[in-house]
Structures are given as structure tokens and as C-alpha cells.
């Protein structure tokens, strides 16, 4: 199996490393040549273009920022549809609008190529240790064929339904994560301003019903004021834009999502778009004039 990977950003690079660690040979391409150099130095084969990746690989994984990038790489001029052979498969692991996944699948179907939409959750730390949660849409038989490959990158790999189901599941995930971070920000700030150490509150409640993976990952960052990005605010804005768009399309009310979106947009306006999404806490700190656990 000849595997190609297009997209070597904050997630794509560690995912490439984990596939190679599991014994797979991969050919990589990114418009940032330094990223390609880094992964080639780790053992990958250098790809010269998206078109070349498509022409020489049976399966092509894409890990790109948003819907327009996926449309361009797969369906655009010099895209995968121009060179991939019938019988191939594209596994798009980007987090995009489900309707775009369906559009891309139709474009690939015309040349006899299958699509899986397989977005991930877990951010850079879980990409590095290979324990991502991978949500997959597409034909079950195609999913089964590539399950061993996907398991090199994820601890949880779940078939969610037809094309678009993977990205719909990812949008649901991103709603839950965003609302959890906002609730955690409010809770820790309340505790701090009421005179209770946020570290004590965190350790007291993390084992109960309020406890979550989000809390374990983000509470220490908030208390330390460490907003080094594992998943940037700008990317969470993109995901919630897709969630709200999908909600409008299917008629699902998303008032809490809309509220958190306003918080994220305010943070972007304040220059925090490249911060980790745990920096939602900064919005509350700004309103309260108090840093959680730090003054």
C-alpha cells in the first residue's frame, strides 16, 4: 500500500511520525517546505506536489485547516482528482463542514475513488502520543480496510455513519469541548474570587460528576496562565462556524454554541487567536479584573 499525506501542520507531523513508527512507508507534501524537510529527515519520502502524491499513492491522507483547503487540494487545479487512479481512497482527517465532505465524495466518485471523512480530536498532545479520537464517515467496508492504519494514530477509531457523519460527530465534540472550557473558566474564577484556592477546587471536583478530560487538560493551564497552543482559538472558531452553519442547515438550535462563539470572537479581536482554547479563561479574567490563581 502506497500512502501519501498532504498537510504537515501541528497535527499532520506527529501523525506522520506515528504511521512511520508503526512500519508504514509514507510520501509527504506540504506547501511549507521546512515541514516536509523535517518529516523526510524522520524517514518519509518527499513528494513534490499534491498531483504527484495522487499519481503515486493508493491512499492519500489529507490533514488541512478548513473546507476551502480540502476543496482545493482534492477537487482543484492540480488536485488529487486530476491524478488519482480508480480504486484509490482519500482519507480526509481535516475538520471541515460535513456538506463539503459530501461534495468532495461526489467529486472523487466520478473517478472511482472512495472517501472517508475522519476528523480527529485530542489536539497536539494526543497526536504526538498516537491516542487521538478519530470519528469516521464513509462506507463500512472502506473503514474496515483502513482501520489498522487509523489505529496507528488513534486510541479510539469509531465508524459514525455515511460520508459527513465523521465531521458531524467532530462538530458535536467541539461544542462539548468549548462549553466545558467556558464552564470551567467560570467555576474556577468564582472559587478564586470567593477565596477558595482554584487548585483545591480542581482536585476536589475532578473525580466527581463534573470531572472530564477537558478539565484535567485545561484547568492546570488556566491556573498557571499557560496558553501555549495545543488547539488554537482560531481553529475552534472555525469549528464552531461549521457547527452553527450545520445547525442552521438542519434546523438545530445552538444558543450556547453561539454564546461561546461570541467569547472566542472577542478573544480573537484582543489578539488571542493563536492562544490555546483554554484562553477562554482570559475573557472572564478581563471582565473580572482578576487572574485565576495568580493575583
Q: Give residue limits of the domains in the chain.
A: 3-163, 169-288
Q: In terms of DSSP bridges, do strands 132-137 and 120-121 run parallel, antiparallel, or are they unpaired?
A: antiparallel
pLDDT value at residue 123: 84
169-288: CATH number: 1.10.1040.10
Domains 3-163 and 169-288 share a fold: no
pLDDT value at residue 183: 98
pLDDT value at residue 1: 87
CA angle 293, 224, 287 (to 5 degrees): 55
21 part of the active site: no
pLDDT value at residue 200: 97
For domain 3-163, the CATH architecture is: 3-Layer(aba) Sandwich (3.40)
For the chain, the helix, strand and coil percentages under 3-state DSSP, each to the nearest 5:
55, 15, 30
Catalytic residue among 13, 170, 238, 282: 170
Q: How far apart are CA 262 and CA 236, in angstroms?
A: 12
Which has the closest alpha carbon to 233: 204, 197, 199, 262? Answer: 262
pLDDT value at residue 294: 84
pLDDT value at residue 212: 95
pTM of the model: 0.91
C-alpha cell at 275: 492562544
Per run of 10 residues, the mean pLDDT along the chain (length 295 residues) is: 95 97 97 97 97 97 95 96 97 96 97 98 91 98 98 98 97 97 98 97 97 95 94 94 95 98 98 97 97 88
Amino acid at each position: 500500500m502506497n500512502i501519501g499525506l498532504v498537510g504537515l501542520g501541528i497535527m499532520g507531523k506527529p501523525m506522520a511520525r506515528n504511521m512511520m513508527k508503526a512500519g508504514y512507508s509514507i510520501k509527504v507534501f506540504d506547501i511549507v517546505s521546512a515541514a516536509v524537510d523535517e518529516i523526510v529527515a524522520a524517514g518519509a519520502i518527499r513528494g513534490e506536489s499534491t498531483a504527484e502524491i495522487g499519481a503515486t499513492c493508493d491512499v492519500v491522507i489529507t490533514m488541512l485547516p478548513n473546507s476551502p483547503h480540502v476543496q482545493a487540494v482534492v477537487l482543484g487545479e492540480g488536485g488529487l482528482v486530476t491524478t488519482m487512479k480508480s480504486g484509490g481512497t482519500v482519507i480526509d482527517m481535516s475538520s471541515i463542514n460535513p456538506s463539503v465532505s459530501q461534495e468532495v465524495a461526489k467529486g472523487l466518485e466520478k473517478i472511482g475513488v472512495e472517501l472517508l471523512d475522519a476528523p480527529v480530536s485530542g489536539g497536539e498532545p494526543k497526536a504526538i502520543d498516537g491516542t487521538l479520537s478519530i470519528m469516521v464517515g464513509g462506507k463500512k467496508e472502506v473503514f474496515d480496510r483502513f482501520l489498522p492504519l487509523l489505529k496507528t494514530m488513534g486510541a479510539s477509531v469509531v465508524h459514525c455513519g455515511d460520508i459527513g457523519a465523521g465531521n458531524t460527530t467532530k462538530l458535536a465534540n467541539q461544542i462539548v469541548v468549548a462549553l466545558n472550557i467556558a464552564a470551567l473558566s467560570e467555576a474556577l474564577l468564582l472559587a478564586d474570587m470567593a477565596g477558595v484556592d482554584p487548585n483545591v477546587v480542581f482536585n476536589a471536583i475532578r473525580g466527581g460528576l463534573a470531572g472530564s478530560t477537558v478539565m484535567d487538560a485545561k484547568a492546570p493551564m488556566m491556573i498557571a496562565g499557560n496558553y501555549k497552543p495545543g488547539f488554537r482559538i482560531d481553529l475552534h472558531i472555525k469549528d464552531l462556524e461549521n457547527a452553527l452553519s450545520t445547525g442552521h442547515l438542519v434546523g438545530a438550535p445552538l444558543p450556547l454554541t453561539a454564546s461561546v462563539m461570541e467569547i472566542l470572537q472577542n478573544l480573537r479581536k484582543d489578539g488571542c487567536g493563536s492562544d490555546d482554547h483554554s484562553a477562554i479563561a482570559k475573557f472572564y479574567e478581563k471582565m473580572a479584573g482578576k487572574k485565576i490563581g495568580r493575583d
